[in-house]
Amino acid sequence: APLIRCRDLTRVYRMGDNEVHALQGVSTDIAEGDYVAIMGPSGSGKSTFMNMIGALDRPTSGTLEIDGERLDNMKPDQLAAFRGRRVGFVFQQFNLLPRTSAVENAGLPLIYAGIEAAERKARAEARLKQVGLGERMDHQPSQLSGGQQQRVAIARALVNDPAILLADEPTGALDSQTSEEILDIFDQLNREGMTIILVTHEAEVAEHAKRQIVFRDGEIVEDRS
Ligand code: ADP
Ligand code: ADP
């Protein structure tokens, strides 16, 4: 069975008398270990789709199954628990806590998971070393370059051993040299078996993925490997 199974997903946003049909019947499967780039113009439904996969939002209709669990009929607290256990998020703007060391930032998800301090530190340190930031674990975000901050964010996304890594324009705030370094980390993680789904506007970024899915007007209009 695929890791992610979507059937006829729709999402309708209602604002007063207006309706926005952000997803209009999306069906696809994503295998464990795949590396998928999500593309398409602004407003085409990319964020809405990622919010479903990331258990941040529920579809209006359709079914969504991840690793055998049905997300479409989960209650909000079940969705939050699923998100905390199974999904790691990386953002364009890193979203690190200021005045907080790299190792504390990377360990944040473990606080919510109820892991005690010594193990949090050990697991955060291991992930920071994995992304090449072993030498700067006590630095705060303001003392790190953009690429180093994004490494901390990747370590944080991995610290819970997620089943899926979701990234929204992860290189959008970085120069091209630093972007390549971050994409090398994603490539390495995928070779080690991590399932990665990333949103990008850039063809060069999408070329790193094994598969490109293109959205338009809330539908998948292209899906190539
Ligand atoms: P991007 O195109 O970079 O993915 P958007 O600007 O489309 O980002 O969306 C950013 C966030 O704002 C998303 O979480 C999305 O769900 C939300 N959003 C987008 N459009 C609207 C809207 N018309 N009303 C309310 N929230 C919106
Ligand atoms: P993308 O990420 O491709 O830019 P989105 O998924 O953010 O697209 O948006 C798809 C459509 O849904 C857009 O028309 C957007 O304005 C609308 N939308 C997104 N989020 C919201 C929201 N929270 N409330 C209302 N409309 C939204």
The interface predicted TM-score of the complex, written ipTM, equals 0.74
Contact 87, 66 (CB under 8 A): no
Residue nearest to atom 19 of ligand 1 (CA): 43
47 lines ligand 1 (CB under 6 A): yes
42 lines ligand 1 (CB under 6 A): yes
**CA 44/CA 214 separation, integer angstroms:** 9
CA distances from 14 to 17, 21, 218 (A): 7, 9, 15
Give the single-character DSSP code of 154.
Answer: H
Q: What is the pLDDT of residue 141?
A: 97
210: its two tokens:
């094994």
pLDDT in tens, the chain (225 residues): 899 999 999 999 999 999 999 999 999 999 999 999 999 999 999 999 999 999 999 999 999 999 999 999 999 999 999 999 999 999 999 999 999 999 999 999 999 888 999 999 999 999 999 999 999 999 999 999 999 999 999 999 999 999 999 999 999 999 999 999 999 999 999 999 999 999 999 999 999 999 999 999 999 999 999
Q: What is the pLDDT of residue 171?
A: 96
Q: What is the pLDDT of residue 65?
A: 98
Q: What is the pLDDT of residue 1?
A: 87
The position carrying tokens 């506007």 is 201
pTM given for the model: 0.91
CA distances from 100 to 105, 135, 139 (A): 6, 16, 8
117: its two tokens:
């301090």
Q: Hey, is 214 helix, strand or coil?
A: strand
Q: What is the pLDDT of residue 100?
A: 97
- In DSSP notation, 39-75 reads E--TTSSHHHHHHHHTTSS--SEEEEEETTEE-TT--
Q: What is the pLDDT of residue 77?
A: 95
175 by Cβ neighbours in 10 Å (0-12 / 13-18 / 19+) ranks as exposed
Q: What is the pLDDT of residue 92?
A: 93
Run of H or E residues at 137: none
Q: Which residues contact 221 (CB under 8 A, 6 or more apart)?
A: 40, 214, 215
Ligand 2: centre distance to CA 27 (Å): 19
13 lines ligand 2 (CB under 6 A): yes
Run of H or E residues at 155: helix 146-158
Residue nearest to atom 24 of ligand 2 (CA): 13
Q: Please give the distance of CA 36 from its chain centroid, rounded to a whole number.
A: 11
Q: Which atom of ligand 1 lies at the shortest distance from residue 92's CA?
A: 3
177 by Cβ neighbours in 10 Å (0-12 / 13-18 / 19+) ranks as exposed
Q: What is the pLDDT of residue 113?
A: 85
